[in-house]
Amino acid sequence: METLSENACFGGVQGVYRHASAACSCDMTFGLFLPAEAADGPVPVLWYLSGLTCTHENAMTKAAAQGWAAEQGIALVFPDTSPRGEDVADHDDYDLGQGAGFYVNATQDPWAPHFRMWDYVAEELPALLAAEFAIDGERQAITGHSMGGHGALTLAMTLPGRYRSVSAFAPICNPTGSDWGRKQLSAYLGNDEGAWARHDASALMRETGFEGPILIDTGTKDQFIDLLRPEALATAIAERRQQAVMRMQPGYDHSYFFVSSFIEDHVEFHAERLWA
């Protein structure tokens, strides 16, 4: 593992690191904020999964999350959104290929050799963090924005017991019913729509739900709201009678101005469960 940078941040350290990924068969970069408490022993961790076109850097620099995490004594992990490199397949469209991994394990060419973001986020990166940093793997929570909100919700509902809580900012709620989903799932997983269901938060909510609290925020002025389909997830939550808070925030759009406005709520929401 290579340290690319480490900066003092709210009494802790904001680092950026690169490592050779066996899951993605390329070098991967991630950000990690460790609060001051990590100097004395392992701390709980909140995962932040970013959206389309993002790298590890977007939320790390725009979400304004570190100060709130420092107050709560929890770590923040900012993974990349896809494999990267000259040998990694890409596409001219912004919503497919590099920057658009969709947190799945691709089975179709040309994506299959590298696009294994599910294994990377669910298995490889957690193991690396536990081995190299003062991270308490028994106390994890997860959040994300847009495509990352989709990833956070699907990971949480598919890995029971892994995360104590899950939240999302403007998540893609029903990718099997949206152009932000059908395009990518067919490209990465093929045309068998049965294979898509485990990556659809609304379908997973009906099938399994989540054994814990959920918080979801979406802006009423989100320019992509028809692609996000929050109504599909809201219906599934109601049908399952799932413990969840789903808020429509008046006037907010899809940007990091929206995320940074409500990140304090989300960090506090997770910290309450992580320290319980």
d(CA 204, CA 157): 7
Q: 178, 203 in Cβ contact below 8 A?
A: no
Strand order in the sheet with 12-21: 2-9, 12-21, 26-34, 75-79, 43-49, 135-144, 166-169, 214-219, 245-249
* Pairing relationship of beta strands 214-219 and 245-249 according to DSSP bridges: parallel
Residue-level length of the chain? 276
Q: Kindly name the residue from 21, 146, 165, 202 that is annotated as catalytic.
A: 146
Q: Kindly name the residue from 80, 95, 217, 222 that is annotated as catalytic.
A: 222
222 is catalytic: yes
Residue 182 neighbours by CB under 8 Å, 6+ apart: 175, 176
Q: 80, 28 in Cβ contact below 8 A?
A: yes
Which ranges of the chain does DSSP label H, i.e. alpha helix? 57-62, 66-72, 117-119, 125-132, 147-158, 179-189, 201-207, 225-228, 230-240, 256-274
Q: 29, 4 in Cβ contact below 8 A?
A: yes
d(CA 80, CA 100): 10
Q: Kindly name the residue from 56, 254, 266, 270 that is annotated as catalytic.
A: 254
Catalytic residues: 146, 222, 254
